[in-house]
Amino acid sequence: MKASVIVFPGSNCDRDCKVAVERSTGAAVSMVWHGDSELPAGTDLVVLPGGFSYGDYLRCGAMAALSPIMTAVKAAAARGVAVVGICNGFQVLCEAHLLPGALLRNARLKYICKDVELDVVNSQTRFTAGFAGRRTVRMTIGNGEGNYFADPETLDRLEGEGQVVFRYRDNPNGSARDIAGIINAGGNVLGLMPHPDRAFEADLGSADGALLFQSVMASA
């Protein structure tokens, strides 16, 4: 199995994602520079990591969404390759229109870094099947712009079509309808603000994130 972690200028969780995927799944992981135009052949999973791509200038993820590698990421997503965007990666996916909605400043306009409990709203996805019926998981957030927003019609559609995957049990940032993570209509693109890459071993306080990576790689 092969995974590719995209590295943007300002990424600070790219290596975290590489280590998390390697240790969780045993997959071979390539680090792919944002200026490249192609993904490695045979990539089963693309990870857009957290961080502050391009220093969060303009809008979080807006400049990264225009990086050359994103053309290849979009093409891979269209072919059904699994793509996960974590924190800033979620912002990039929204800016690239691979997921609907936007991430706004946190409700209290403060950076928040802490463990959070999440409800697994849809356990029948490529990313959550491995949770084996567990309804609650623990991960970590670290963001200043994690407030998910979409218009009511879009939110209704996400809810009605099972595209809300994770929901905060105690909403830390004001996200609409407590949404912490969503998938696209095709079920192969996931964006979430909490970090599974910071919760993949018990020594980190939770190993729940490992189940996400294991789930998606098992589905490839």
CA-to-CA distance for 128 and 142, rounded, in angstroms? Answer: 22
Pairing outcome for strands 2-7 and 28-33: parallel
CA-to-CA distance for 100 and 180, rounded, in angstroms? Answer: 13
Segments in 139-207 forming alpha helices (H)? 152-160
Q: What is the DSSP string of 47-85?
A: EE--B-GGGG-SSTTTTGGGSTHHHHHHHHHHTT-EEEE
Neighbours of 126 (CB within 10 A): 22
CA-to-CA distance for 173 and 110, rounded, in angstroms? Answer: 9
84 by Cβ neighbours in 10 Å (0-12 / 13-18 / 19+) ranks as buried
180 by Cβ neighbours in 10 Å (0-12 / 13-18 / 19+) ranks as buried
- SS3 state of residue 195: strand
Q: Which one from 60, 87, 97, 113 is the annotated catalytic residue?
A: 87
Question: What is the Cα gyration radius of the chain?
Answer: 15
- Catalytic residue list contains 34: no
- Catalytic residue list contains 113: no
Residues assigned a catalytic role: 87, 195
